[in-house]
Every structure is written in C-alpha cells, then in structure tokens.
C-alpha cells in the first residue's frame, strides 16, 4: 500500500537554526508532492509544491524542498527559522497512476517548536 | 468568494447515532476528499471522489459513508459503526485534470458524548 513517512514527530530548535524535515513516500509511479503547514489554531496552508521540472522548489516564507526521485524523498528545508515558524508540518503525495489518480495522502506530521 | 465550506464547526452526538457532516465547494473542483485528523497521526484519508456519482475508499473508510450526487457537495456520514468517531474532520477539493494543490475547509470537530 502507498504510504507517506515523516521522519520526526517533534523537533525543537532555537531561532536562527536551520531546519530540515524528512519525507519519504512509497509509490513507484508519477506523483505530485506538497508540504502543508498548520499554525496553531489555523487551517492547513500550502507551503510549496512539486509537479515536474526543477527538483528544487521554493515556497513561501523562505522554505524550500528538494525532490530526489531515486530516494523517493521530498525533504523540506529552511536555512534560518523564526519563532513564527512554530507549527505542524505535513508532507503530502498525490498519486497520478491510472488506478489511484487523485488519491492524496498525508504523512503523520512533524510538530516544530522554535524557541526564542 | 470561492472556497470550501464545512458545517457545522462543532458537532456533538450521542453514542449510537449517525451524523452527517457537510462539505460544499464553489471552486468548480472535480475531486473532493474527507480526512480525519488526530494528534500524532496526521491526516488519514477516509473517502475521496474524483467525479460525480463515483467515490473510493481511503485508508480508514470503515464506519463512514459518503455520497457525491452533485459536483459541489460531498457529505460524510459518521455511522454508529465507527468505533472512535471523536475527531477533527477536514474536507478538501482539487481539480482532476490540472496539476494544482488541494484546498481545505475549516474543519468540523465531532465529539461523541
């Protein structure tokens, strides 16, 4: 069965530290990839997305992600975090195979806490 | 304004009762989804629908049912067979024929009392 794995459930770091969140998926076909963020008390927002082309994609608020097809990975990075980046981050994969077109699956999420 | 509307925002039900959560979108999206969000488990897919009058089970469909009679509507019924229905439920939609992201509603928090 298809699945999306996020490596860390909780991450605590200081302001100005670098952040990297891992995401791997298990599906051999064509996929679209996403990172969503959920700030405390708010609904899900799109951070960035990958459909095709340059595997390094840039999103909002200084986030970027790199798609490595051979590793089935789509890791999220930010060089220097701020306190306002405290949130839960979700990796998501949309399948593009003929049997499962449109199935959009999420990872378990990573709770990121940035301390002043 | 275009968007996805979920109602109600909070819902209480007694054990043994069925309850239906509403999801309406005016984005002209083809595909719609229902997720359940529990702490530490992310968003788990309950059902999804790519076109009207068709839907597929997600990863945790047991105890739930859906219908897709209209493009803009995808109601979710939580039946009495769902053993642990207290959760936050999210509805989403997206285009089927284009590479776009999904848009989410504000969610419904269901509590069984």
Closest Cα in chain A to B106: A43
Chain A, chain B: beta-carbon pairs less than 8 Å apart: 54
Question: Which of B33, B40, B56 lies at the smallest CB-CB distance from A9?
Answer: B40
pLDDT at B91: 96
B33 contact residues in A (CB cutoff 8 A): 104
Mean pLDDT for chain A overall: 91
Distances, alpha carbon A11 to alpha carbons A25, A40, B29, B105, B109, in Å: 20, 15, 35, 27, 26
* Tens-digit pLDDT profile for residues B50-100: 999 999 999 999 999 999 999 999 999 999 989 899 999 999 999 876 677
What does the pLDDT read at residue B85? 93
A49 in reach of chain B (CB within 8 A): yes
A109 in contact with chain B, both atoms CB, cutoff 8 A: yes
Please report residues of A whose CB lies closer than 8 A to that of B31: 102
Q: What is the SS3 string spanning A20-55?
A: EECEEEECCCCEEEEEEEECCCCCCEEEEEECCCCC
Give how far Cα A106 sits from Cα of A54, A97, A100, Å: 23, 17, 15
Cβ of residue A52 closer than 8 Å to a chain B Cβ:
yes
> Which tens digits make up the pLDDT trace of A58-83?
999 999 999 999 999 999 999 999 99
Question: What pLDDT score does A6 carry?
Answer: 95
First to last CA, chain B: 35
Of B42, B58, B105, the CB nearest to A108: B42
For position B95, what pLDDT does the model report?
85
Give the pLDDT band of residue B5 (cuts 50, 70, 90). Answer: very high
> Average pLDDT, stretch A32-36?
94
Of A92, A101, A109, the CB nearest to B50: A101
Whether pLDDT at A97 is above 90: no
Percent of chain B at pLDDT > 70 equals 96
Q: Do B40 and A108 touch (CB under 8 A)?
A: yes
Please count the CA atoms within 13 angstroms of the CA of A40 that sit on its side-chain side.
Answer: 7
Note whether A72 contacts B: Cβ–Cβ < 8 A: no
């Amino acid at each position: 069965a298809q699945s999306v794995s996020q490596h860390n459930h909780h991450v605590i770091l200081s302001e100005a530290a670098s952040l990297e969140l891992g995401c791997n998926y298990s599906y051999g076909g064509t996929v679209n990839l996403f990172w969503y963020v959920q700030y405390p008390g708010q609904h899900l927002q799109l951070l960035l997305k990958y459909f095709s082309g340059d595997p390094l994609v840039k999103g909002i608020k200084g986030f970027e992600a790199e798609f490595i097809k051979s590793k089935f990975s789509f890791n999220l990075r930010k060089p220097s975090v701020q306190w306002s980046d405290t949130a839960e981050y979700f990796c998501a994969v949309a399948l593009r195979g003929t049997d499962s077109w449109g199935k959009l699956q999420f990872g378990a999420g990573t709770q990121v806490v940035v301390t002043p | 304004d275009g968007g996805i509307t979920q109602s109600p925002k909070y819902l209480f039900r007694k054990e043994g009762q069925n309850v239906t959560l509403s999801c309406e979108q005016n984005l002209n999206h083809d595909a719609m989804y229902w997720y359940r969000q529990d702490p530490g488990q992310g968003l788990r897919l309950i059902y999804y629908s790519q076109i009207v009058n068709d839907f597929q089970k997600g990863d945790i469909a047991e105890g739930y049912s859906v219908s897709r009679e209209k493009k803009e509507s995808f109601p979710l019924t939580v039946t009495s067979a769902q053993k642990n229905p207290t959760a936050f439920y999210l509805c989403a939609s997206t285009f089927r024929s284009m590479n776009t992201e999904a848009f989410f509603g504000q969610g419904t928090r269901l509590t069984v009392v």
